[in-house]
Every structure is written in C-alpha cells, then in structure tokens.
C-alpha cells in the first residue's frame, strides 16, 4: 500500500515506514534533539553518512502515531457503572409494571441492591430517575415509596397523551404510504404476544416501542421524547387478578392491530375512531 506524505507525494513502496538511521543500533531510540520526520508528516529522505558509534540509550520519545494500523485492540471504555445502572433501571421498571413493587410501599436502596446483587449506589441512581418520571417518590432517611396513582391522575395523563398523539396520527394517516405502516406490523404483533402470555412488563415495553415507532414517522424527535415520557408516567397499576390483567392487555393489543389495518387501508374515519378510543380507555 502506498504511503502519502504531507505534500501529497506518493512514497515509493520499497521505502519502509520506520527508517533506521545508518549506524544506529537496532532497537535503540532516536536522539531526543531530533524529531522524527514521520512525526511532522514530512517525506523522509535517507542520505549517506559516515559510520558512527551507536547512540547511548535514552529515555523513550513521545509516542508517534504509526502509519501502519495497530494490531493491538483498543482499550474498552469504562461503561461498567453506567451499564449496571441501566440494568437496574430496567429491572425496577419491570418490577413496577408486574406489581412486584407495591404502590404505597417504601423500599430502601440497600435492600433492593441485595435483591439484584449490586451495591446500593446504582439502585439509588436508578430510583432518582424513576422519581423524575413520577413512578416513585423520595422518603428521606428511608428510601423510595412507589407512587400510588389514582384514576383521576391516570385519566389526566391519558388526556395529555391524546392531545399530542391523536392529531399526529391523523396527519400521518393522510401522508404516510401503506407500505410504511405494514413495516410496523411486527411491533404490533409483539404486543399481542406479550398480552397472550400475560407478561405485563414485556407488554409495557413492546407497547412503548409501537407508539414510539408510529410517532417517529412525523420526524419530530422532541415530540417523540415528550410522548415517551408521558407513556412511562401513564402506565396503569397492575391488576391483582391475572385473568383481568390478561384480558385488558389482549384488548389493548387488538386495538393496535385494528389501527394498523385502518392505516394501511387509508380509512381515515376508522383511524380517527380507533385512535381516540385507544386513549379514551386509558390503555397503552
């Protein structure tokens, strides 16, 4: 492969990348008072010179980026702490969705840390994030209390979501071609699968993915982020009766499928009815 100097001149293939000064011992470092031409990006010329004794060993010069690609792997960035916090956050959200963390109860970070096999620090960090989302509230010197949302608050959140999402979906129904809607079919099917299993945590995430993908078609990233935050806040408490929970999830997932069918058929009347009814039921 040709090497190119700073002036854009091609370096002959026979010229090695690192040029050893004649008379210099193999492996010896360059003189500290001479900057290697490669460090300046200049073309290196080797001129004959009189033989001289090898230079004595000196301190290594600052590292110079080699023209040859390194075979050593780059050090892995330190993301372990962030990864642990993210995993704990996902686990806490799943526990909230499944009702394993009971609304009104107070949980301490050390106890939850022992449950997840981590220290209390990432649990506190994840709980602070959940507190910002309104899922828990801080109890000084005790821990975090799971928020107990009443029907009125859930209805208000559903109303705000409808004010944002309904007009966007109706506008998209007039402009997005059917093929784009068909591409979202796997996301709707994922909600149906989770509903059939009664998997509340899995349904919450697949439902969020479906709504996010629909809104993303508008191209407004800020709107998608605001709607996603509202979606997290509007998660309804888990029903104690597994049969009731499963029936509610199945009905909600069926609305996703029906909405996609109407969008693909470009049936604006059906789209309007379905999308308003979806939020009117305070579902996903």
42 has a pLDDT exceeding 80: no
Helix ranges restricted to H, the chain: 37-40, 80-98, 109-116, 120-132, 151-175, 178-182, 185-197, 200-216, 221-233, 242-265, 268-280
- Classify domain 151-280 by CATH number: 1.20.120.530
Mean pLDDT, range 32-51, rounded to an integer:
43
Check for a shared fold between 80-146 and 151-280. no
Q: Residue ranges per domain, the chain?
A: 80-146, 151-280
The answer to whether the CB of 67 falls within 8 A of the CB of 3 is yes
Q: State the Cα–Cα distance between residues 215 and 253, nearest whole angstrom.
A: 17
9 has a pLDDT exceeding 60: no
Q: State the Cα–Cα distance between residues 207 and 173, nearest whole angstrom.
A: 19
Against a cut of 0.85, is the pTM above it? Answer: no
Sequence-ordered list of residues with C-beta below 8 angstroms from that of 236, at least 6 positions apart, any chain:
149, 154, 282, 283
Higher pLDDT, 26 or 259: 259
Confidence class for position 175, pLDDT limits 50, 70, 90: very high
Q: What's the pLDDT score for residue 85?
A: 85
Confidence class for position 254, pLDDT limits 50, 70, 90: very high
Higher pLDDT, 232 or 181: 181
What are 72-125's pLDDT values in tens digits? 434 433 334 457 888 999 899 888 888 888 889 999 999 999 998 999 999 999
Q: What's the pLDDT score for residue 238?
A: 57
- Classify domain 80-146 by CATH number: 1.10.10.10
Helices 221-233 and 200-216: crossing angle, nearest 10°?
Answer: 160
């Amino acid at each position: 492969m040709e090497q190119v100097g700073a002036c854009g001149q091609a370096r002959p293939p026979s010229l090695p990348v690192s040029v050893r000064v004649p008379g210099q011992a193999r492996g010896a470092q360059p003189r500290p008072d001479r900057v290697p031409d490669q460090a300046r990006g200049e073309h290196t010329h080797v001129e004959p010179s009189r033989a001289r004794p090898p230079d004595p060993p000196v301190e290594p010069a600052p590292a110079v980026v080699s023209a040859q690609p390194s075979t050593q792997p780059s050090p892995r960035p330190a993301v372990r702490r962030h990864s642990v916090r993210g995993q704990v956050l996902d686990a806490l959200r799943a526990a909230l969705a499944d009702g394993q963390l009971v609304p009104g109860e107070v949980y301490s970070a050390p106890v939850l840390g022992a449950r997840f096999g981590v220290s209390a620090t990432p649990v506190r960090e994840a709980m602070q994030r959940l507190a910002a989302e309104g899922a828990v509230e801080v109890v000084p010197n005790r821990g975090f209390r799971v928020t107990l949302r009443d029907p009125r608050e859930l209805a208000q959140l559903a109303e705000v979501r409808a004010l944002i999402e309904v007009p966007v979906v109706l506008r998209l129904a007039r402009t997005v071609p059917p093929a784009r809607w068909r591409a979202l079919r796997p996301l709707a099917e994922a909600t149906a699968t989770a509903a059939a299993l009664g998997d509340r945590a899995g349904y919450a995430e697949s439902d969020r993915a479906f709504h996010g993908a629909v809104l993303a078609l508008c191209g407004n990233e800020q709107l998608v982020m605001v709607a996603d935050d509202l979606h997290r806040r509007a998660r309804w408490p888990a029903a104690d009766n597994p049969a009731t929970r499963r029936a509610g999830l199945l009905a909600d997932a069926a609305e996703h499928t029906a909405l996609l069918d109407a969008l693909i058929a470009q049936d604006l009347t059906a789209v309007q009815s379905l999308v308003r009814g979806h939020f009117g039921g305070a579902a996903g």
